[in-house]
Amino acid sequence: MLFINWNRIGTHLVISVAQCVLSALVHIVWFLDIRIGVLHKPASCRPSQFLCLRSSKEPRRRIHLDIYEPSSLDKSQKPFPVHINFHGSAFVLPCHGSDAELCAYLCSRLGCIVVDADYAKGPKYPYPAALDDALDVLSFVASQPHRFDLTKVTIGGFSAGANIAILAALRSANGPLPVKSIVAWYPPTNMTRRGSEERELSPFLRWLYQAFRSSYLPEGIDRRDPRVSPLFADSKLFPSTTLIVGENDKLLIDSVELANKLTADGVDCVLYTIPGATHAWERFVKKDTALWVARDEALRLTETRLREVYCN
């Protein structure tokens, strides 16, 4: 008798629709040059270069990179500091390019090269494909010492991308290209967490939350593995770390617990919490509000923490 898993089909259908809608929205925002108010016109949000890397694990698959170079870049000069960014995605949504304005802003303010990297998404490419892609991006940076200052490599991201950024930094700690600083905006650091935070959601959002996570971390993956949940990683592997999160974000506890652990273990860690802010709060703030001011402060903190590496 043929058995049809309607729940799984429904999950994949919803995710596929969400992926199509988000991909279209990102392209529309990019085409119309719609901004969130971080980088004002006429300053450009367009990358200087588009690149495709071949996945080391799946050679037929490509990893897309948007590279932002400062206007002062002179290819005859010494290599530039580099910041690698990974966008938010709930581990399944194709939102590469959604951080264009923030990447252009950091590039302009810090005079560094910013590599905005895409990565594999579930359910088609579950864990560890996204982390493998992040490590491939680090390998790409390491392969170009004439372009990138390999002593001044930083990494960061938003939500799911922040999780991937942290994990990539930890994997690089004892390698040829150690990351010097992490700036993570509202990262999920404990992928085992279930229960109270899900019960507070509506039934549909709870189902969607579970569907997204299970699409990235299917059955059989140990969610306590430090290569999945950085909260359980050895603190000695962490470089200087900055965590930015809203006080009303469901992932607040993830940042608080990681910050407490790192601070107790002597790691240079800064936790910046924003009153009244929820998840992805910095994308939707209104001018002349408390959150607008908080976003400016969060960006200044990001600049300060990255300058500590670049100006050293």
The string of pLDDT tens digits covering residues 149-161 is 999 999 999 999 9
At 19-78, the pLDDT tens digits run 666 566 666 666 666 677 777 665 788 999 999 999 999 999 999 999 999 987 666 678
148-158 and 62-68 beta bridge pairing: unpaired
Closest CA to 70 of 117, 107, 115: 107
Q: Which residues pair with 271 in a beta bridge?
A: 243
The predicted model scores a pTM of 0.91
What pLDDT shows up at residue 3? 43
d(CA 307, CA 152): 10
Contacts 24+ apart (CB under 8 A), 191-195: 191/163, 191/217, 191/223, 191/228, 191/229, 192/223, 192/224, 192/229, 193/253, 193/254
pLDDT of 104 > 80? The answer is yes
> What percent of the chain is predicted at pLDDT more than 90?
72
Where do the domains of the chain lie? 6-310
pLDDT confidence of residue 15? 67
pLDDT over 50 (residue 277): yes
Would you state the structure tokens that stand for residue 200, as one six-digit string?
């507070």
Q: Looking at the predicted structure, is the pLDDT value of residue 203 above 50?
A: yes
Question: Would you tell me which CATH number, out of the four given (3.40.50.1820, 3.40.50.150, 1.10.3720.10, 3.30.70.260), belongs to the domain 6-310?
Answer: 3.40.50.1820
